[in-house]
Every structure is written in structure tokens, then in C-alpha cells.
Chains A and B, each alone.
Chain A
Amino acid sequence: MISSELVDLSRLQFAVTALYHFLFVPLTLGMTFLLVIMEGAFLVTGQQIYKDMTRFWGKLFGINFALGVTTGLTMEFQFGTNWAYYSHYVGDIFGAPLAIEGLMAFFLESTFIGLFFFGWDRLTKGQHFMVTVLTAIGSNLSALWILIANGWMQDPVGAEFSYTTMRMELSNFWEVIFNPTAQAKFVHTVSAGYVTASIFVLGISSWYILKGRDIEFARRSFRVAAAFGFASAMSVIVLGDESGYTISESQQTKLAAMEAMWHTEPAPAAFNVIAIPNEKEQRNDFELQIPYVMGIIGTRTFSKEIPGIAEIKEKNRHRIESGMQAVTAMEALRRNKEDVAAKEQFEAHKSDLGFGLLLKQYTEDVSKATPEMIQKAVDSTVPRVAPMFWSFRIMVALGFMFAILLALSLYHTVKGTFLKQRWLLRWAVLMIPTPWIAAELGWFVAEYGRQPWTIYGVLPTHLSASSLSANSLYGSLTGFVLFYTGLLAIELYLMFKFARKGPGSLGTGRYYADQQAH
């Protein structure tokens, strides 16, 4: 049996490397489109200032992008190094979007980003604009494919288990691609990236305005960011993730945990604005509710029920008991493929195989699992409520703050009064780091919320890890943390340095920092 220490360390390493990587992804997703807009303005108007904007914001984008590439390398290989059994068990499905991501998206993004930085004197205006557009398309397509892969982990459609090859095998790729869970995730994630980039540009531009420097440059940047950001913030909220949460069982489990819904309520359910979840007694010690709201948001109806934690667990108990039959039959078939009785038993219970595998954490011989083990397994099928509840709430609260900031910014942009709204500009500066907090919390809700599974209902996390020693993990985890933290410190140093210097860092002689230097 794999030690839980090893599994926990592997999870921690994945979380650390993914969360670091995700510090750089949202800005890339959004900045590329902001650069498209700025360069589009240059293409149409021919005004030099728009080219300078593209180049300066592109420079900051590049500093961020370098670490996105660095930390992204790990992600492509870590499934193999640390999640070997996972890679074997679902590589037939999960590997395909990753490979297509490389072929379709990474090549496009990475080839053209070089031309974006170095092609200004070699390409015509139109060619350069096309290069910027292709970079943006490439980076957003890569988000699409990775979220198709991740959506499949949440909602494994279009695949079937084979006991001969001892793994999941693809049966319908279109179902995997058009998985509604994946599509909801994609829209939510890229919009969040657009908001991140908008607030980044908005905040830094506000700082220049507050300092009274590079006003023309900052004014235009602010306007672009406010308009693009507001549209994106609306998309995060309207096309928000919540609607995706009733699609599948895994999402229903997450929904119950992050809403602290211990029991199914009559439809439409109330929304807990604030609650103090009590894990031990499986109830809330305190609740502040708005009636009906949860049911309406969650199901878009007045009549559909949203299942609560107790009911979900009860359903899972049956699935675990049925899964025990599936595991026993599968093991018999591994010994003898011609065992007719086993085949029949397997066919009857195969949809619960993953639930049976949950028991492997407690015993090698699943057929002999005790009622205590089954109870433990049942309890493990819903993630802990408090971390889910609060992460989700902070993320949503931040999301609404972004929407308000961007709405007010757009309002004052349209009225042409934003240069004088110093409170708004100061607020925009203060908001710069917050989209990253929201993005990291979003990752946490999605991934922690899927526990105890790597593939919901199919493969438990504790079976997924590579058979490494815990010492290897202590070593590699320490290495990653040190390496990444050092690189992040360098990145932030450069980012602050060039953001402070502003467009003068282009050395064109037209901006504030150029004048200071003379």
C-alpha cells in the first residue's frame, strides 16, 4: 500500500507547483488580448503612442511570461514523475488534450511571441498585428485544451474501463471536448484572466496619473483596461461558474461543500451568505440566509432540488458497496479473463468501480472491508466544508469588487472625468494584487473540492501517486519551493523596476523616465 505521507507530499508538491504556475497564467491570457487591442488602435490610427503602449505593456507581459513558461514546463512532466499510476490509468484520454495543446496552441503562442518582441523592424504593420493576434489565440487555446483535460478530471465522460489493459480507455472524444463542465471552466478561467490583466493595466496606469507623469500614455491605457475589463468582469459573473455546478455529480458535491448545505432543502434552496460550518456535527453553528437564491442560481429553476451533503453521502454509500463487487470481480478477471460469473458481476457494478477503489486506502482486499472502513470511505467522499465555504466566498466577494471597480472606471472613462477621481485611482492601485488572490482561491476550490478523487468517481487520489520514497518528495518539494521563490523574487523585482520606470524604459526619449535620465 502507498503511504499516506507520500500521497500527501505528492499532493502538496502538485499544489505548490500549480499555484505558482497559476500566478503567471491569468496575466498572460488577458495581456495578450489587451496588446491586440492596443496594437489594433495603432494599426487603425497610426499614432505612435499606441505602438509605445503595445511595446511597454508587452515588456511587462514578457517579464511575467518568462516565469509562466518556466513553471509550465513542470506541469507537462509532473504527471509522469509524480503521478505515474494516474498517467497509466487515464493517459489514454488525458494525454490527448495535452498533446494537442502542444501541437495546436503552444507552438502557435511560442513561435509568434518571439516575433512579437523582435519582429517590429522586420515585419509590416499588418504582419506584426497578425503575429500579436496569433499569440493571443495560441495562449487562449492552450487554456481551452488544459481545461478540457481538467474538465474531464471533474466529469469523466466519453471513456470506459478495460480490465485487460487495466485502465480507462477513450470511447468518444467529442464528449470529452464538448464536456459542459470543461466549457464552463474555460469561459470562467479566461474571463478571470482578462480581468486580472485589466486591473493590472488599470492599476499601474492609475499610479502614473496619481504621480502626474506620462499622462497621455496612462490615460489611454486606463481607458482600454476599463472597457475590456468591464466586459470581462460581466462575463465572469453572468457566465459564472455557478451555473456549471449542477451539471455533474462531482460539481454537485463541490456545490454542497462550498455552500455548507448539510441537507437537501425543499426547492428553491436558501443561500448562506455567512455560516460557521461544524464539521463534527455536520451542521452549521450559525447561518445568515437569503431565501430561494441558491436554488435559483444553482438550478435556474424554482422546482429542482440541490442535493445536500448527507444525501450525497448516502448515495455514495450505496455506490461504495456496489463498487466492492466491481473491484472483486475485476480482480478475478485479472486472474482469469474467461471467468463468466466474474464478468457478469463486473458488468453489473462497473460504474461504481472507482467507489470500490476508495477502500484500497484502508485494505488491500476490498471484499473484506469492515463497516468502519466503509464509513470512513463514505465520509471521505465530501471534502471538508469550511475551507471550501470560505475560499469560495472570498473569491466571489473579490469578483464583485472587480466588477464595481471596473464599472466605475468605465463610467468615469465615458464621462471623461477619471483623471480627477483620485479615490478611484488610489483604489485601482490597491486592487492590483487582488485578482491573483481570487485566481488562486479558484484553483483551490476546483481541485481541493474534487478530493478524494483525481478523476471523479473513477480514480482515488491515493492510488494515483508514483511509487517513490517520501525522502525523494521532501527533496524535490524543497527544491521546487526554493527555486520558484527565488525566481519569483527576481520577477517581482524586475516587474516593479520596469513598472516604476514606465514607458521611459523603452528608451524612445518621449517619456518621463527619459527626461529624468537627462
Chain B
Amino acid sequence: MLDYETLKLIWWVLVGALLLGFAIMDGHDMGVGTLLPFAGKNDVERRIMINTVGPHWDGNQVWFITAGGAIFAAWPLVYATAFSGFYWAMLAVLWALFFRPVGFDYRSKIENPTWRNTWDWGLFVGGFVPPLIFGVAFGNLLQGVPFHFDNDLRSFYTGTFWELLNPFALLTGLVSTAMITAHGANYLMIRTEGDVYRRVRSASLIFGSLTLVLFAAAGVWLSKGISGYVITSTIDPNALPNPLDKTVVTETGAWLKNYSLYPATMLVPAIGFLGGLLAIVAAKFNKPLTAFVGTSLSMLGIIGTAGVSMFPFVMPSSSDPRSSLTVWDSVSSHLTLGLMLGATIIFLPLIIIYTSWAYKKMSGKVTAEFINANDKSAY
């Protein structure tokens, strides 16, 4: 089996990969939900939009569930501390997500405009709220979160829900929302035509540009106004994980250190920008598939930037810095990490293969004729 240090690093990459998978796959469903009430002007148009993701949203949502499960298995302290600390934020995500399964499945089962319109707004909430909150959560991780451990490693969150909604976190929340909306718009461009296509193309251009502007603004703010965290004691990456075994200080500009230490990592934010630019240009020239690849790359860059900036921190503590959680000391045992890596290596390629098959089988434009012909069976 691989040594413990390597496994800890691999799991940092894998958690990032699962979050990225979630952003790319469930993200485009959520983008569709966010755009639904605005880009769909009548019932048929909205049904067109919904049915572009109809066969796929449930499979895509499993990226979210699996990312949660993987964090539980690989980073139990992060799972425990973040989810209980961000209690109301997590519940807001959950409750927003509740609208999606029922919204998709129940909306078109009854022909009543009020019924359908209500579910459309439910789908909007389910698409709009989770990316916003995830963005806000990342903004808070970058600033550090007020929590500490007692000697038994029980975590205590000492902040409030409202503190999470600070200006920098709201900015990162908007980055996330804009990014997901642009991504959803690009997906809709692949699968629609006519009026809906024209509207989502404008949305793609607007939210694509907005993403880049906000991402740049967050970068500047991060380098000038947010202090990062540094481990000051020596770390043995192979040691048994115990977050209380280290000392940590805050330092302005610490979140930029990795980029000067390992200049190759500058590629990560660069991909964020270049992918975004590619998406905008492709949308402009009506190449939706390329635009979709562009926003996917852009999300890789943007999520990656947050990860690389904080590395090795995952969840720094602002009130008790030594309690901060890092890739070295918030992980599962050597055996569990190895085992879970094995499971991932077996199943992730299979998932990608059969998901691709499902998309291939259901590909093509969803049209008004299709909706009318399948009035009883389509969403």
C-alpha cells in the first residue's frame, strides 16, 4: 500500500475532484434551475428546459451525496466540524435541495398554472441557493472559522449563522452563483433551440463575464485584505492525525505563499480565467459544447485556486488556530484511506462510462414538438 503521506495528498486531490465533479454535473442542473423562471417564458419553454436535465439530474445529484460520503470517510473531522459548525447553512442547502426531486417529478403531473409555477420557483430555489451557500462557505474557509476542539476532540463552533454572511464570503458566494449559472446556460445552449437558446446565450455571456470579474476581485481582496494561516511547528506528514499537535499563526499574504513556492501552481488560477474566456468566446460564436468545456475548465481553476491557496489547510480556525484542520491531521486511518482509494479507482471510471452512455442515448435538442408529443410522460 502507498505510504500515509502520499495517501493524504491523494485524498486532498480526490476530494477536490469530487467537488469538481459535483460542480460540473450537478452544477449544470442547478444552473438550469436558476435560469428556469427567467429564460422560460411559458409552460412549454419551461418544460423544454426541465427536460434537458430530466433523465440526468438524479444521477448528477449523487456527486453531491458521494462527495459528502467521501468527506465523511476520508476527512471525518472535517465532515463533523464543518457540517455541525455551519449548521443552518447546511440545513438551508438541504431544504433548498428538497425542492428538486419533487419539483422535477411532480410539476408536470398536474395541469394547473399555479401548481406548475410554484414548483418552477421551487426548482429555482433548489438551483440558486446551494451554489450560493457553497460559495459563501468557501469564503469563510479562506478567512478561517471560529471553532476549537477540547481535549477529547469534540468540536465547538463559537460563531453565529449571520457571521458567515460577511462581505468577502458574499463575494465568493456570487462568484459561485455566477459560475454555476453560466455553466447551466452553456448546457442549455447545447440542448435547446429558438427563443430559449437566444435567451440562455445572453445569460451565458453575462454570467460568464461576471464570473471572471468577481473572481479577479476576490483574488485581489484575498491578497490584500485577508490574512492566511501558517503552520509554525514541524509537521510529520506520516504521523497519526491529531490536530492539536501543532502551532499555527495568521499572516497577511500567507495564502499566496504556495504560488511563489511552487510557481507551477499559478496555472490553476490561470485555467480559471482562460477557461472562462474560452466559454465566453465560444458562446459568442455559437459553439455551445466548447463553451460547456470552457466553464468546466473555469470551475476546475476557480475551485482549485481556493484549494491551492489554503493548502495544506482545509478548515482553518480563526478563534483557536492550532485547532485548524489540515490535510495532514484531519484524515482517516492509513487503512481506510487506502481502501477508499481502491474503491474510487474501481468505481469512478465505471460511473463516468455509464453516465456518458446515458447522456449519449438522451442527446439532441429538446423541442416543443417533443413536449407536446410526450405530454403525459415528460417532466
Contacts and interface: CB of A to CB of B under 8 A. Distances in A.
B170 to A, nearest CB: 23
A163 to B, nearest CB: 10
Given A87-B72, A99-B70, A490-B102, A80 B339 contact: no
A99 B54 contact: no
Contacts of B57: 114
B298 interface: no
A436 interface: no
Interface size class of A (residues with CB under 8 A): 35 or more
A297 to B, nearest CB: 37
A428 to B, nearest CB: 26
Given A66-B106, A98-B73, A479-B95, 5 more contacts: A72-B65, A88-B153, A118-B362, A166-B153, A466-B87
Contacts of A365: none
Contacts of B83: 77, 80-81, 84, 87
A107 B351 contact: yes
Contacts of B73: 91-92, 95-96, 98-99
A366 to B, nearest CB: 12
A509 to B, nearest CB: 11
B155 A103 contact: no
Nearest to A101: B69
Interface in A97-127: 98-104, 106-108, 110-115, 117-120, 122-123, 127
B376 A505 contact: yes
Contacts of B59: 107, 110-114
A162 B334 CA distance: 13
Interface majority SS on B: helix, strand, loop or mixed? Answer: helix
A359 B80 CA distance: 24
Contact of B76 (A92, A118, A497, A505): A92
Nearest to B90: A81
Contact of A111 (B54, B68, B154, B354): B354
Contact of B358 (A103, A114, A166, A170): A114
A92 B333 contact: yes
B105 A62 contact: yes
Contacts of A498: 109
Contacts of A107: 59, 62, 66, 347, 351, 355
Contacts of B88: 472, 476
A76 B361 contact: no
A93 B68 CA distance: 15
B253 interface: no
Nearest to B67: A102
A487 to B, nearest CB: 6
Interface string B61-98: 11001101110111011011111100110110011011
A424 to B, nearest CB: 32
A483 B58 contact: no
A84 B94 CA distance: 17
Contact of B54 (A79, A100, A118, A491): A118
B336 A467 contact: no
A210 interface: no
A3 interface: no
Contacts of B354: 108, 111-112
Interface string B140-164: 0000000000011111110000000
Contacts of A101: 69
20 contacts: A70-B101, A72-B65, A73-B94, A82-B84, A84-B154, A87-B83, A88-B153, A95-B73, A98-B72, A102-B70, A107-B351, A110-B58, A111-B58, A111-B358, A114-B58, A114-B358, A167-B76, A170-B333, A171-B335, A479-B95
Contacts of A286: none
A91 B76 contact: yes
A96 B339 contact: yes
Interface in B270-315: none
- In the A-B complex, the 7 residue pairs with the smallest Cβ-Cβ separation, listed nearest first, are A91-B76, A80-B83, A95-B73, A102-B66, A114-B55, A111-B59, A95-B72
Contacts of A476: 87-88, 91
Contacts of B54: 114, 117-118
Nearest to A86: B80
A85 interface: yes
A74 to B, nearest CB: 6
A117 B55 contact: yes
A492 to B, nearest CB: 12
Contact of B106 (A99, A106, A123, A494): A494
Interface string B340-379: 1001100110010011001001100000000000011110
A173 interface: yes
A59 to B, nearest CB: 8
Contacts of A69: 58, 61, 101
B240 A165 contact: yes
Given A103-B344, A103-B351, A74 B94 contact: yes
Contact of B69 (A76, A112, A122, A466): A76
B199 interface: no
A506 interface: yes
Interface in B108-161: 109-110, 151-157
A270 B184 CA distance: 65
Contacts of B66: 99, 102-103, 106-107
Contacts of B156: 467
Given A84-B83, A107-B66, A114-B54, A162 B90 contact: no
Interface in B168-202: none
A164 to B, nearest CB: 5
B257 interface: no
Contacts of B347: 100, 103-104, 107
B84 A81 contact: yes
B247 interface: no
B255 interface: no
A89 to B, nearest CB: 8
A100 B105 CA distance: 27
Contact of A472 (B72, B87, B336): B87
Given A73-B94, A87-B72, A99-B340, A490 B335 contact: no
Interface string B30-56: 000000000000000000000100111
B68 A77 contact: yes
B74 to A, nearest CB: 7
Nearest to A169: B333
